[in-house]
Homo-oligomer: A and B are copies of this chain.
Amino acid sequence: MSLRHALLGLLAERPMSGWDLTRMFDVSLANVWSARHSQIYPELARLQEDGLIDLVEQGARGRRVYSATDAGRQAVLDWLRGPQPAHTLRDEGLLRGFFAWMLPAQEAATLFRRDAVSSRAKLAEYNELAAGHDWDASPATRVQRVMLESGIRTMTVLAEWAEWAAEQCLAMEDGDDGA
C-alpha cells in the first residue's frame, strides 16, 4: 500500500491531477519509488471512493485535480507514525556481482567498473538536481533536499565501492596465480 500513501502525501502538499502525480513519480520520487499512470489513475479512483481525497477542480482536456481530505492527511500521519517498514532491496546490478567469480578476472573487473560508471552517472544527476533548485521554498522542499542528500551520499560510496571491487578482482588474480 505504499503507492496509496505516497499519493496521499503528495496530495496533502498541494492539489494535483493524475498527470501531475505521474510527473512527480517520474522525477523526484522516482528514485525511491516508481509508479506509472496506469497504476495511479485506478488508485486515485479508489482513494476518492474511500473518502481520502476530493475532486476539487476540473480543467481542460478532462483534467481532474484532487486534494487530500482530512481523513487522507490523517492516513498519511498514521503511516508515518506506524512501524518501520522492512528494508527490502531489489537490485539486479548488485545481484550480478555475486556471480562475478564465473568470469575471468579482467571481465569481472569490467563488470564492477560499469557499476561504478552508472553510480557516478546517478550521482551527477543528483548533483545537478541539487544545484538547480530553490530548496528553501517550503518545509516540503527542504525535506526533499534532505532526501536527495541520501541519494548523493549513497551513490558516492557505491561508486567508490565498485572501483574498489574492480581492483579486488585484479588483485585476486595476481595473488592467485600459483594456487
Contact = CB atoms under 8 A, between A and B. Distances in A.
Q: How many chain copies does the complex carry?
A: 2
Interface residues of A, number: 68
Interface stretch (A49-57, A58-66, A91-99): A91-99
A97 B9 contact: no
Interface stretch (A14-22, A40-48, A77-85, A126-134): A77-85
B150 A161 contact: yes
A71 interface: no
B80 A144 contact: no
A163 to B, nearest CB: 12
A111 interface: yes
A33 B149 contact: no
A118 B6 CA distance: 21
Contacts of A146: 97, 100, 165, 168
A176 to B, nearest CB: 8
A38 interface: no
A89 interface: yes
11 contacts: A6-B98, A33-B95, A76-B99, A80-B99, A84-B118, A88-B90, A97-B143, A98-B144, A101-B140, A146-B168, A153-B157
